[in-house]
Structure 1
Amino acid sequence: FGHTERGLSRRSAVADCRGGQRSGDATHHASDEEQLLLLLALQNKRKRRCWVHEINTKKKSFGEYHRLCIELQSHEDRFFQYFRMSRECFEELHDLVKENISKLPTNWREPIEYLATGDSHQSIAFSFRTGRSTVSKIIKEVCQEIWNNLHPTYLPAPTEQIWNEAVEGFSKVWGFPNCLGSIDGKHIKVKCPSNSGSSYFCYKNFFSIVLLAVVDPFYKFMVVDIGSYGRHSDSTIFENSAFFQQYIDGKTILPSKPLPGTDNPVPHVFIGDEGFALQTYLMRPYPKATMISDVKKKKFNMRLSRARRVVENAFGILAMKWRVFLRSIETDVKTAECIVKAACCLHNYIMIKNNNTFIESEEQTETIRALSDMRSTNRRTNTAAFEIREQFASYFNK
């Protein structure tokens, strides 16, 4: 505005130097111009002042953190219901990530509420009295920091020791020896990605990315592969995953060994449902039509189903605790992948802090089917895979 005044003064000085002859019309015109410039300057000034809505200026008095979150710290049970973890876990988590999120412009509890409740970004923005775009930015950045800080400890790349511990657990707890892990894939609802065509449109008639996971005998994620197109089957996703390329394709995770009480070496295997093709490294159930009168096949399917259930239970726990999975994730695909990775890390973090037990609450008695199953496959398999399954079936029928 000061520049406007100086500009008008310079124009007046030039006019005076040229003879000081200013007609009434010229004076009137200059006055109109000055008023117009003044009005524009004031309008621009008002626009700059309105970048923070007046509602959001009251966050310290009425925002959810200052109004509710602080009060919850005095009530452990309510704190757990709200944040889906104990206060002790929450504070330890905060200590792990606080250095890298201190630059963010508002409270980091917003992303935890988003994961726990699944509320929309706009709803959380109103609750915490901050901008919607700010909430979206914070959720993305904090989820990325949760992944960066937690996954080396709570979801590390499996080592030989980790695989051996899983094998021992599946044998002792679930009665399925030589089992490396239970594997499955689930559709995660996302909003329609731009310029994606039908790539993310799954057979359930919604847009999705796929969470492919290997789970240990104690309901913890060992491996997660996130982001494959929703239209693909389990086997296609599995065989194109980074996990498959790193650990399975032409490789041996652990050397073969005999099943207990037997002499012939049998490969270590993953177990999955009908969504996966039978392979030498992956066992699936016998088709229902072939086991109607075959007791050996029935027993194999029962044993496999019991051990495989850990991955279904892990997905169920994930969806019940982090209710962001109960609705479509309203971000771009990359941010959705980041959110899912963070939730999987938090799942393991809380399970380990709770000594591999799942703390129940009233809401967890509900039946939740938030994550959709993958499509079954009838791909042909090789003779060696059939023979390995027969060896397991014979062992379970001793």
Structure 2
Amino acid sequence: MSSRQIAAAVVIYLIKKRKEKKEKNKRKIWVRKWIQRRATLGLHEKLLNELRMEGPQQLKNFLRMSAKDFDFLLGLVKEKIYKKDTKMRQAIRPEERLSLTLRFLATGDSYHSLMYLYRIPVCTIARIVPECCAAIVEALKKEYLKVPNTQEEWIRIAKDFKNIWNFPNCLGALDGKHVVMQAPPCSGSYYFNYKGTHSIVLMALADANYKFIYVDVGCNGRISDGGVYNMCSLSTALENNTVNLPPPQQLPGMKNFSPFVFVADDAFAMKPNLLKPYPFKNQPGPNRVFNYRLSGARRIIENTF
């Protein structure tokens, strides 16, 4: 055989082997049969509809919201998460996508666990959850994630702190929460925190009724709460006087004017509009009373988390 014939034979042999490998790795099924039965046996078609009719309290426990709230939220995000049917398959309906996302947010279950619960593949769940979360934030941020920007709004919050928690001139309770996560590749100790885990920090401000009025999330867990606050937009806005805080007012029974403040724990640095408790033990009586009152107002953010 000539060298040309040998080369042609080698090429034909390699092409044959490649075809055999493709046939070996060829997907045997398009969708698993137990997943195809989602339309008739899926969780949303069976359990959730039964709970809606027979056990509203259990439905609220399952999704962390009532059927009325679920329908209201679905109406806001339905157009954003709707997918069209194709010739290949029927799209997953918006109500299934939303209930799946709410269950994930309520429990933190893994995608693999939710796959068997909802009969939806893991790869599909990995797309549904971020899309639904983005749709929820987009639909609710103007109404429910709004930072107060007028003096009347701030004064209303201060009145609630005074009437409910007996702490006047308070505009909110501030603290950080570590959200544990798996360290990203090649991140080293960038996200490693003092608790021995990897995390990002959720810095938040809550009013007297356990509602978030400011949220900043994403800073690496290696940074302390005080450091996170110094880098967040709230701290910058306070330094630049763009938050539109009300002017100082007299405390009950006092002649001196005191500024409106946010309350925090000892991890934060004292600032004109940031108040923290007296440090160390064995404080005199008035200081202990002050710490008790401040802790009562500050624990709002702990309970909100």
Match of 1:299 in 2: 289
1:50 aligns with 2:40: no
Match of 1:184 among 172, 175, 184: 175
Q: Superposed, which structure 2 residues align to 1:1-398 within 5 Å?
A: 43=23, 47=26, 50-74=29-53, 75-103=55-83, 105-106=91-92, 107-108=96-97, 109-160=99-150, 161-245=152-236, 247-251=237-241, 253-289=245-281, 291=283, 294-315=284-305
Aligned-partner Cα distance in 1 for 2:157–2:30? 54
Tell me, what secondary structure is at the counterpart of 1:305?
Answer: helix
What's the C-alpha RMSD, in Å, of the aligned pairs?
2.3
> Deviation digits for residues 244-287 of structure 1, max 9, x if unmatched?
22x31231622112212322221111001111112211111111
Measure the CA separation in 1 of the matches of 2:220 and 2:108.
Answer: 22
Q: Distance in 1 between matches of 2:120 and 2:66?
A: 26
TM superposition shift of 1:72 = 1.5
- Give distance in 2, aligned partners of 1:254 and 1:48: 66
Q: State the secondary structure of the residue aligned to 2:174.
A: strand
Q: Distance in 1 between matches of 2:259 and 2:297?
A: 17
CA distance in 2, matches of 1:244, 1:50: 56
Write out per-residue CA displacement over residues 349-389 of structure 1, whole angstroms, 9 at most, x where no aligned residue: xxxxxxxxxxxxxxxxxxxxxxxxxxxxxxxxxxxxxxxxx
> In structure 1, how many angstroms separate the alpha carbons of the residues matched to 2:249 and 2:46?
60
Greater relative contact order structure (CA < 8 Å, 6+ sep) = 1
Q: Deviations over 1:131-185 (max 9, x none)?
A: 1011011100101111111121112122223212111111111111111101111
* Aligned residue in 1 for 2:88: none
TM-superposed deviation, 1:290 = 5.0
Query: 1:209 corresponds to which letter in structure 2?
Result: I
Distance (Å, rounded) in 1 between the aligned partners of 2:240 and 2:23: 68
What is the percent sequence identity of the aligned residues? 36
The Cα shift of 1:129 comes to 1.3
Following superposition, the deviation at residue 190 of structure 1 comes to 0.8
Residues 83-112 of structure 1, C-alpha deviations (whole Å, 9 max, x = no match): 111111111011111110112842211111
Cα distance in structure 1, aligned partners of 2:194 and 2:63: 33
Q: CA deviation at 1:48?
A: 5.5
Instruction: Summarize deviations over 1:26-72 as a string: whole Å, max 9, x none.
Output: xxx9xx99xx69x769938x936634223311212332222312222
1:234 is displaced (CA, Å) by: 1.1
- For residues 65 and 42 of structure 1, the distance between their equivalents in structure 2, rounded to whole angstroms, comes to 38
In structure 2, distance between residues paired with 1:67 and 1:111: 18
Alignment partners' CA distance in 2, 1:269 and 1:131: 49
- Bigger Cα displacement from structure 2, 63-72 vs 209-218: 63-72
After superposition, what is the alpha-carbon deviation per residue over 1:188-235, rounded to whole angstroms, capped at 9, x for unaligned? 111111222211111101110111110000010010111111011111
Residue 76 of structure 1, CA deviation: 0.7
Q: How many pairs are equivalent?
A: 278
Larger Cα Rg: Structure 1 or Structure 2? 1
Moved more, 51-60 or 110-119: 51-60
Q: Counterparts of 1:301 and 1:256 in 2: how far apart (Å)?
A: 21
Q: Which residue does 1:394 correspond to in 2? A: none
For structure 1, which runs of at least 5 residues remain unmatched after alignment?
Answer: 1-28, 316-398
After TM superposition, give the deviation of residue 289 of structure 1 in Å: 2.7
SS at match of 1:116: helix
Distance in structure 2 (CA, Å) of the matches to 1:228 and 1:209: 5
